[in-house]
Amino acid sequence: MLFYEPLFVTFFLAFYALYLQATGALAKKCTLLLASALFYIWGEPVFVLVLLVSTAIDYALSFHLNKPTPERMRRLALAAGVAGNLGILVVYKYADFLIDNVNLALSPFGPHKIALLHPALPIGVSFVVFEKITYLVDTWRSVSRPAASFIDYCLFVLFFPKLLAGPILKYHEMKDQIAAPSAIEWSDLFDGFLRFARGIGRKLLIADPLGTFANQIFAADPATIGTGYAWLGLACFTLQIYFDFAGYSDMAIGLARTLGFRLKENFNSPYVSQLLTEFWRRWHISLTTWIRDYLYAPLGGNRRGEARTFVNLWICFLASGLWHGASWNFVLWGAYNGLFLTLDRLFLRDALQRCGAFIATSVTLFIVVIGWAIFRSEHTAHLAPFFAALFGTSTASTALEVPPEVPLALVIGAVVSLFPATRLYPALVRLHERHLWLRLITIALLLVIYILALARAFAVPFQPFVYFRF
Amino acid sequence: MNRLALSRPVNRLIVGALLALLPMLSAWNLMMPNRQVQIGPTLGGVTNEMPVNFSWSSIRDGSFQKAIANRLTEAFALRPILIRINNEIRLELFGELTAPHVVRGAKGQLIERTYLDD
């Protein structure tokens, strides 16, 4: 269920009218849990059972992760919990990828093949599994105690605003808000709504029109598209993936805020980064910090010398690539990022810092955009001809029809993404904080954006969020 | 306590009732298809109604959810005005005609294709 579907709008309003009347913590949690469970059952009526059983196992294990339990038992419980959660990912997301590669490796030895399982990928499974792991690890690290009740933990897992595509919550950051949901103030309602309006505008008015054209380019035979179209398609995808995912995050953060919950930010103007390292501090922040806290740090981080730091970075980015999807393209994309992060540490950071902000931002953006070409290609065989089209070695001259809304969405998207890199931006932020009339204009603009986006949602077939696939 | 604070039960009740208006209108439209309350111009197009088949297999394959979502979309009271806004903007900004059987004639006049075919 998408957050801007009439079905969601109708049920959310009805649910919110009820939720407002709940005063006690238990009543709030039960209402919220019921709504969250219904929301997930609607989309995943079968997988929800797997999720509930796995949630119950986590909860039971968490009582054996704390200090009074002997160390060996604690480690065993943690390993069982983490393995169980990763097992869900392996079965639903990677099984066919693994079988496919085993079949390929065994093909010289005979025609026998292992049959593919074709499991349907449950929506949000990659996000939920990572969140569940934070509960186990946080409890094991004694950063937090086991959840006060099973309801609390279920609510952490199923909390519907973040359920489908994050932001990936960490248990220790959410436990207090979940244990005692705060009373809703007017500011929660208004700020949450305005944040939601920004998100729906980003998704429907920028990401979706650009996505339609990007899909057309990436679905075409790269040998038939000219250099200009290849770059236009890639530029469209570069903005689509940002506005789509940041838009979803805005909607999730906004919805949670209307319910009195504060979620951490997931994006911070990533395309203005002057280094790839900086880009990864600004893009999908909840995943990057998850990898830092729950993978990079346990591997030793940068505490074991330069060579080991590079190895750790590569492991983390290969894992990040694989997290996005079971395909060699994503592994390659992870390796590509690992390579440039290594180069950043070796010399690129110093070189770019000497070049000035404009060149540093342009070079970083170029590296990111080329990375998106790897990310977006459906299979590795698409890459070579697509890069040939990008860098002008293809002779194709097929004319494609560019939908009329694409140029406008592209310009607005580029301006919005890159404006924070200009000197005007901090001045405008200060003015905005100082003058009420500017804030009122922003509110009016967001209201118009909300209406326009909702109008588009009713008229154009629904396009799911890019990150729902992961 | 601030008289307007949302923590006051009476304020929460008023806000809740206002928010529930739209879902209640949708419920009314679903139950009273002949006396629907729709805000905005009457829509010319006709949508094929998917049958709502409540069974475990239809829930599992998502067809039940899709049928319910379609019914609710049709019953949404603001749907006509929202579609009108979208069509108007696409025509004004991009010159795009969203109605499938309408073409643009001389001086930007919109004509139904059936008249031309006749």
Residues A203 and A113 in one domain: no
Q: A424 exposed, middle or buried (CB, 10 Å; 0-12, 13-18, 19+)? A: exposed
Decide if A421 is inside a domain.
yes
The verdict on a CB contact (< 8 Å) between A186 and B96 is: no
Q: Are strands B102-104 and B110-112 parallel, antiparallel or unpaired?
A: antiparallel
| pLDDT value of position B39 | 83
| pLDDT value of position A467 | 64
Q: Which of A416, A369, A378 is nearest to A232 (CA)?
A: A369
Q: Are A255 and A3 in contact (CB under 8 A)?
A: yes
Decide if B26 is inside a domain.
no
| pLDDT value of position B35 | 85
- Chain B CB within 8 Å of residue A404 CB: yes
**Chain A neighbors of B17, CB-CB under 8 A:** 17
- pLDDT band with cut points at 50, 70 and 90 for residue A462: low
In chain B, % of residues over pLDDT 90: 19
Decide if B112 is inside a domain.
yes
- Is the pLDDT score of A261 beyond 70? yes
Give the CA-trace dihedral at A103, A107, A113, A114, to 10 degrees. Answer: -20
Name residue A30's amino acid: C
- Chain B CB within 8 Å of residue A458 CB: yes
pLDDT digits (tens, 9 = 90+) for A20-73: 999 889 999 999 999 999 999 998 899 999 999 999 999 999 999 987 888 899
Average pLDDT on A121-141 reads 91
| pLDDT value of position A158 | 94
Query: Coil, strand or helix: which one is B107?
Result: helix
| pLDDT value of position B99 | 73
Residues A141 and A235 in one domain: no
Decide if A67 is inside a domain.
yes
Decide if A323 is inside a domain.
yes
Residues A119 and A259 in one domain: no
The verdict on a CB contact (< 8 Å) between A455 and B22 is: no
pLDDT digits (tens, 9 = 90+) for B62-115: 899 999 988 898 889 998 899 889 988 888 888 877 777 778 777 778 787 777
- Cβ-nearest to A21 among B12, B59, B86: B12
- Is the pLDDT score of A305 beyond 90? no
- Chain B CB within 8 Å of residue A456 CB: yes
The verdict on a CB contact (< 8 Å) between B65 and A21 is: no
Decide if A219 is inside a domain.
yes
| pLDDT value of position A465 | 65
Q: Find the domain containing B82 and state its range.
A: 38-117
Looking at A148, A167, A182, which one is the last position of a domain? A182
| pLDDT value of position A296 | 93
- Please tell me the distance from the alpha carbon of residue A293 to that of residue A450, in angstroms, as a whole number: 36
Q: Find the domain containing A273 and state its range.
A: 187-459
Residues A121 and A266 in one domain: no
A64 flagged as catalytic:
no
Decide if B15 is inside a domain.
no
Question: Which one is predicted more confidently, A461 or A155?
Answer: A155
Residues A302 and A446 in one domain: yes
| Shortest Cα distance, chain A CAs vs residue B103, angstroms | 17
- Is the pLDDT score of A379 beyond 90? no
| pLDDT value of position A464 | 66
- Is the pLDDT score of A353 beyond 70? yes
Decide if A80 is inside a domain.
yes
Residues A362 and A233 in one domain: yes
**Chain B neighbors of A7, CB-CB under 8 A:** 68-69, 72-73
- pLDDT band with cut points at 50, 70 and 90 for residue A107: confident
Decide if A3 is inside a domain.
no
- Is the pLDDT score of A251 beyond 90? yes
- Cβ-nearest to B23 among A14, A42, A458: A14
- Cβ-nearest to B20 among A17, A403, A459: A17
Q: For chain A, how many structural domains are there in total?
A: 2
Q: What is the mean pLDDT of chain A?
A: 90
The 3-class secondary structure across chain A, one letter per residue, is CCCCCHHHHHHHHHHHHHHHHCCCHHHHHHHHHHHHHHHHHHHCCCHHHHHHHHHHHHHHHHCCCCCCCCHHHHHHHHHHHHHHHHHHHHHHHHHHHHHHHHHHHHHHHCCCCCCCCCCCCCCCHHHHHHHHHHHHHHHHCCCCCCCCCHHHHHHHHHCHHHHCCCCCCCHHHHHHHHHCCCCCCHHHHHHHHHHHHHHHHHHHHHHHHHHHHHHHHHHCCHHHCCHHHHHHHHHHHHHHHHHHHHHHHHHHHHHHHHCCCCCCCCCCCHHHCCCHHHHHHHCCHHHHHHHHHHHHHHHCCCCCCHHHHHHHHHHHHHHHHHHHCCCHHHHHHHHHHHHHHHHHHHHHHHHHHHHCHHHHHHHHHHHHHHHHHHHHCCCHHHHHHHHHHHCCCCCCCCCCCCCCHHHHHHHHHHHHHHHHHCCHHHHHHHHHHHCHHHHHHHHHHHHHHHHHHHHHHHHCCCCCCHHHHC
Decide if B33 is inside a domain.
no
- Please tell me the distance from the alpha carbon of residue A148 to that of residue A331, in angstroms, as a whole number: 39
Best residue in B3, B7, B19, B66 to probe A by mutation, most A CBs within 10 Å?
Answer: B19
Average pLDDT on A216-235 reads 90
Decide if A37 is inside a domain.
yes
Structure ipTM? 0.85
- pLDDT band with cut points at 50, 70 and 90 for residue B1: low
Q: Which of A35, A42, A261, A41 is nearest to A169 (CA)?
A: A261
The verdict on a CB contact (< 8 Å) between B19 and A189 is: no
The catalytically annotated residue of A64, A284, A324, A382 is: A324
**Chain A neighbors of B73, CB-CB under 8 A:** 5-7, 458
- Is the pLDDT score of B13 beyond 80? yes
